[in-house]
């Protein structure tokens, strides 16, 4: 039981820029000599940097207008001017503070239209009134913000901490919510602030001395109705969009039922008819001309061109598929909720590293059945090709972040740790998997392959490779695109994503749709006597990733207000990583 309440500050981020900055990058009040809480791998990868703050409260002790510190800027000095300009720029881009009390985000709740309350798990540094007197972002909350071409900094916060008294034990109280309201005051006597009067304005053209005094008030309120276990609910309830979800799930299920029906019908009716006809032929002894898919039986297991690459892709894809399945399964059971910061990412990375064995095994098995001999190349490519591309992309993005001084840049130590995980755990496991894959006998084919390849007849438009592949990607994409919107929102617009149950369902539906769409198209072009099915079946559902890329580009231009070249490069760099992973997974 402790009576002191510590407030931690997370990194500041903005919807208009991909670059988060840590609290110490800004010239706010700093905490003296306290050590930082340690972070897990997922938090470091997502650029979260949690630090102690100078705000300290004592439980149930009300404070009004308590001074934290005063910052003075002399605009004639270049270093002061630089600090002030950085503050102005971040207010212009609407950077948001994220404060944490007792592992709960401190939220700013305000009314939006339709009488709803929206609880934002962050609050802006300040806001800007444009030269033609139009208030931007948060400046609309106060009529007093009206000076043109002026920044208003929120230098005062009213914090309300809600607690719940535990009756039956002598434990005392638990915090169930922390809310605040940002205010702006120009304190006339910074040493003895009174928190009233005019807002703190910083004119864009201001010269001479600018004084910003930071203050806070804190009050405590007992809440009998909120239980400790459900204290996140009020944040999640104010996030819109759970009702669209059911609609999208129904939409996806209809697609799945339609596809399953088609597949079942084709399998039962046509195959049944075909097989009955063949059996009949045997009895009547007159070998008629064969037709349809029966014609290509001597070529169907001819090894594909570039079989090495295909087997490597299949290995990596298996690794990603199992990783996604297990991660989502755990998330469904509630192990990886937003309250465990960074847990999702940590779980995914660790699983991916441990799943080297299935990747090596699958790649080796297929490569052997394609009649490949260079097994060393196969193992090396499986362990290095796809992870290498992802890591190279990631490394370039990291260099850009590092150059911009952002907190999302991964420290050198973490990079070394990730490389160590990859080389010392993942690669040996891939070798073990490959060893077992090559030791087993090759997959037995039910029919022998002819010596001379068949001539492929002229194909109609829709059985040609490209149109078939393009058509194949549409259905799986139709299943996921509504979920995709929420996932992109949670990554780029900093909204919380917590609907893992939905996501798991969509994942299962996606797996079924990909398989069935591919089976259908495969059947059609085997009937058209085209026996190059291996690559085509991989690319048919893999093409969903191209639609994902197109959607991500559309999302960038229609939904995001991202400005600046660095942010744009980062957005597309990270999108390419997601697209590659998605391609391997769907294929």
CA 164 from centroid of its chain's CA atoms:
34
Cα separation, 24 vs 440, whole angstroms: 57
Element (H, E) at 42: helix 41-45
C-beta pairs of 496-500 under 8 Å, 24+ apart in sequence: 496/121, 496/235, 496/236, 496/239, 496/338, 497/338, 498/236, 498/337, 498/338, 499/242, 499/245, 500/328, 500/331, 500/332, 500/336
- The answer to whether the CB of 217 falls within 8 A of the CB of 64 is yes
Q: How far is the CA of 239 from the CAs of 161, 176, 328, 512, in angstroms?
A: 21, 18, 21, 30
Q: What is the pLDDT of residue 424?
A: 96
Break the chain into its structural domains and give their ranges.
4-237, 306-447, 469-586
Q: What is the pLDDT of residue 366?
A: 94
pTM beyond 0.85, yes or no: yes
Q: What is the pLDDT of residue 266?
A: 78
User: Quick one: DSSP state of residue 426?
Assistant: I
Q: Is 430 left (phi over 0), alpha (psi -120 to 50) or beta?
A: alpha
The packing angle between helices 500-527 and 242-265, to 10°, is 30
User: Quick one: DSSP state of residue 15?
Assistant: T
User: Quick one: DSSP state of residue 267?
Assistant: I
Q: What's phi and psi for 457, nearest 5 deg?
A: -65, 170
CA 402 from centroid of its chain's CA atoms:
21
Tens of pLDDT, residue by residue, the chain (587 residues) = 578 888 999 999 998 888 999 998 999 999 887 788 888 888 888 888 899 999 989 988 999 999 999 999 998 899 999 999 999 999 999 999 999 998 899 999 988 877 778 888 999 999 999 999 888 888 888 888 888 899 999 999 999 999 988 876 656 788 999 999 999 998 888 778 888 888 988 988 878 888 899 999 999 999 888 888 888 888 877 766 556 677 777 877 888 788 888 878 877 887 787 777 777 776 655 555 666 777 888 888 899 999 999 999 999 999 999 999 999 999 999 888 777 778 889 999 999 999 999 999 999 999 999 988 899 999 999 999 999 999 999 999 999 999 998 888 998 999 999 999 999 999 999 999 999 999 998 888 888 888 888 888 888 887 888 988 998 898 889 888 878 888 898 888 877 777 788 889 889 989 988 998 898 889 888 888 888 999 999 999 999 999 999 999 999 999 888 888 889 999 999 999 999 999 999 99
């Amino acid at each position: 039981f402790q009576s002191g309440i510590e407030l931690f500050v997370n990194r500041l981020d903005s919807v208009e820029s991909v670059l988060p900055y840590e609290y110490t990058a800004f010239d706010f009040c700093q905490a003296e000599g306290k050590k930082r809480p340690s972070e897990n791998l997922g938090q470091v990868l997502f650029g979260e940097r949690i630090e102690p703050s100078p705000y300290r409260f004592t439980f149930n002790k009300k404070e009004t207008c308590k001074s934290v510190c005063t910052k003075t800027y002399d605009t004639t000095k270049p270093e002061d001017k630089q600090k002030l300009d950085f503050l102005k720029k971040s207010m212009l881009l609407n950077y948001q503070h994220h404060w944490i009390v007792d592992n709960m985000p401190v939220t700013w709740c305000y009314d939006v239209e339709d009488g709803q309350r929206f609880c934002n798990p962050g609050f802006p540094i300040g806001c800007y009134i444009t030269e033609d007197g139009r208030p931007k972002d948060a400046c609309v909350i106060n009529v007093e913000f009206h000076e043109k071409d002026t920044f208003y900094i929120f230098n005062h916060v009213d914090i309300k901490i809600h607690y719940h008294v535990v009756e039956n034990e002598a434990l005392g109280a638990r915090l169930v919510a922390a809310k605040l309201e940002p205010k702006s005051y120009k304190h006339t006597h910074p040493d003895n602030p009174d928190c009233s009067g005019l807002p703190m304005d910083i004119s864009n053209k201001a010269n001479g001395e600018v004084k910003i005094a930071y203050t806070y008030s804190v009050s405590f309120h007992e809440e009998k109705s909120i239980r400790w276990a459900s204290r996140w609910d009020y944040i999640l309830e104010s996030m819109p969009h759970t009702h669209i979800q059911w609609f999208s799930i129904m939409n996806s299920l209809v697609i799945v039922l339609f596809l399953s029906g088609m597949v079942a019908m084709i399998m039962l009716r046509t195959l049944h008819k075909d097989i009955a006809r063949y059996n009949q032929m045997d009895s009547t002894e007159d070998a008629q001309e064969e037709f349809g898919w029966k014609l290509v039986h001597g070529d169907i297991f001819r090894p594909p061109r570039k079989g090495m690459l295909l087997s490597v892709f299949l290995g990596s894809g298996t690794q990603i598929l199992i990783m996604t399945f297990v991660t989502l399964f755990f998330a469904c059971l509630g192990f990886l909720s937003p309250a465990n910061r960074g847990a999702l990412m940590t779980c995914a990375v660790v699983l991916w590293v441990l799943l080297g064995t299935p990747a090596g095994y699958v790649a080796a098995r297929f490569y052997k059945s394609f009649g490949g001999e260079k097994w060393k190349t196969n193992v090396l490519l499986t362990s290095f090709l796809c992870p290498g591309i992802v890591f190279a992309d990631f490394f370039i993005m990291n260099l850009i972040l590092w150059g911009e001084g952002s907190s999302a840049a991964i420290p050198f130590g973490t990079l070394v740790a990730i490389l160590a995980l990859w080389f010392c755990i993942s690669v040996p496991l891939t070798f073990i998997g490959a060893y077992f894959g090559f030791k087993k006998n090759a997959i037995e084919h039910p029919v022998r392959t002819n010596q001379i390849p068949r001539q492929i007849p002229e194909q109609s438009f829709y059985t040609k490779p490209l149109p078939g592949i393009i058509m194949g990607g549409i259905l799986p994409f139709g299943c996921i695109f509504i979920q995709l919107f929420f996932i992109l929102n949670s990554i780029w617009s900093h909204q919380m994503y917590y609907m893992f149950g939905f996501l798991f369902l969509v994942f299962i539906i996606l797996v079924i749709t990909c398989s069935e769409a591919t089976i259908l198209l495969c059947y059609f072009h085997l009937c058209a006597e085209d026996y190059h099915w291996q690559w085509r079946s991989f690319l048919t559902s893999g093409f969903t990733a191209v639609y994902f890329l197109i959607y991500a580009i559309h999302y960038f231009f229609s939904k995001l207000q991202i400005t600046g070249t660095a942010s744009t490069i980062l957005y597309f760099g990270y999108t390419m990583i997601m697209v590659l992973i998605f391609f391997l997974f769907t294929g």
